[in-house]
Amino acid sequence: MSAHRTSIRRPERRKRLRSALEAYAMLAPSIIGFALFLITPIVVVVALSFYEWNFLSAPEFVGLDNYRELAGDERAMQSIGNTFYYVLLNIPIQTVLALLLALGVNSKIKARNAFRVIYVLPWMAMPVALGVIWRWVFDPMNGALNRFLEALGVDGVAWLTDSTWAMPVIASVNVWQYTGYTMLFFLAGLQAIPAQLYEAANVDGASKPYQFFQITLPLLRPAMLFVLITSVIGSFQVFDTIHVMTAGGPDGATSTLNYQIYLESFTQRSAGYASMLAVILFAIIALITLAQVVFFRKRTVYDFS
């Protein structure tokens, strides 16, 4: 009897093994790509952060010297401060505007589909091309904005060469470009909220502000989590707009940590130090993302059973 059961189980085991091998064969390209283009570069950058390398001579192991040097590097510390300043300028304004736009196009207004397309169009454009256009708009001498202000009798501002205005201008350009894209996620979240909840609130006499804060915002928590995580990560990695519009100036006022990594790598030819800055950037993004996940860990579930 035992031999009979064993003979029956062998084909089943072979079938399961064959299915498993087929599954791994199908997953192999993705696994190999993930390992080669994500895991391997991360490991190489972390390892390289302990070396000094100028791309010409052989890498020299320096241990934690690159990390110790960071504390006394005014440019690098300034770039870290600029990065947080940019994120604080960009994320709150972009998030609030995107939510307001989503509420607007989700309502019963005429041509709302056309408005959705119009708001997303800036995101579809190349950041470098937009940077060139906005640099011309904000040019202190011949820019369209200062020409317009002069026509109104108002003195223009050195938008891109004044350390007070340069970073807010960069942030405003990115807000303009990505607000419509962010709006799409809020719109999807709004459309996932059951209409019965608002109908019940209307029957109970709840006001629109009450419905927004007690129904809409709590049920938008998953969409808000996704928007904040992706927007914060993107903001910490801003590069194109800064490189085209200000090149990190004036006097490093718009040089973010990501841009400083570029300068250390390709201008100073210090691959080890740039790798150390990349590790610091990765750690900052990881910690902030983890904090966001913990803060929004509560999930919303619709249950009408």
Q: Across residues 115-128, what is the average pLDDT?
A: 86
Q: What is the pLDDT of residue 305?
A: 46
For residues 237 and 258, is the Cβ–Cβ distance under 8 A? yes
Residue 8 has pLDDT above 70, yes or no: no
Under DSSP, the state recorded for 60 is E
Q: Across residues 129-146, what is the average pLDDT?
A: 91
Q: What is the pLDDT of residue 168?
A: 95
Helix 166-191 with 127-137: angle, nearest 10 deg: 130
Token digits of residue 189: 């979240």
Q: Give the three-class secondary structure for 52.
A: strand
Q: What is the pLDDT of residue 268?
A: 85
Write b or e for each residue in 87-101: b if 16 or more Cβ atoms lie within 10 A of its Cβ, otherwise e.
bebbbeebbebbbeb
Closest CA to 195 of 300, 111, 304, 112: 304
CA distance 257 to 248: 10
For residues 231 and 93, is the Cβ–Cβ distance under 8 A? no
CA distance 183 to 94: 9
Closest CA to 248 of 142, 177, 133, 163: 163
Rounded to a whole number of angstroms, the CA Rg of the chain reads 26
Strand partners, 61: 51
CA distance 45 to 282: 11
Query: What mean pLDDT is reported for the chain?
Result: 89
Residue 107 has pLDDT above 50, yes or no: yes
pLDDT band at 47 (very low <50, low <70, confident <90, very high): very high
Residue 299 has pLDDT above 60, yes or no: no
CA distance 99 to 217: 10
Most confident of 127-131, 187-191, 278-282: 278-282
Q: To the nearest whole percent, how much of the chain has pLDDT over 90?
A: 55
Q: What is the pLDDT of residue 7?
A: 53
Helix (H) or strand (E) holding 87: helix 74-106
Q: What is the pLDDT of residue 103?
A: 92
Q: What is the pLDDT of residue 116?
A: 80
**Distance of alpha carbon 214 from its chain centroid, rounded?**
28
Q: What is the pLDDT of residue 261?
A: 95
Between 108-122, 177-191, 232-246, 277-291, the lowest mean confidence (pLDDT) is in 108-122
Query: What is the dihedral sign for C-alpha 108, 111, 114, 120?
Result: negative
Closest CA to 271 of 53, 79, 63: 53
**Domain 74-295 CATH class label:** mainly alpha
Between 9-23, 38-52, 172-186, 252-266, the lowest mean confidence (pLDDT) is in 9-23
Residue 143 has pLDDT above 80, yes or no: yes
Token digits of residue 255: 């040089």
Residue 304 has pLDDT above 50, yes or no: no
Write b or e for each residue in 123-158: b if 16 or more Cβ atoms lie within 10 A of its Cβ, otherwise e.
beeebeebbeebbebbbeeebebbeeeeeeeeebbb
Residue 187 has pLDDT above 90, yes or no: yes
pLDDT in tens, 237-253: 999 999 999 999 899 99
Q: Across residues 219-233, what is the average pLDDT?
A: 93
Residue 302 has pLDDT above 90, yes or no: no
Which residue do the tokens 């400083």 mark?
A: 260
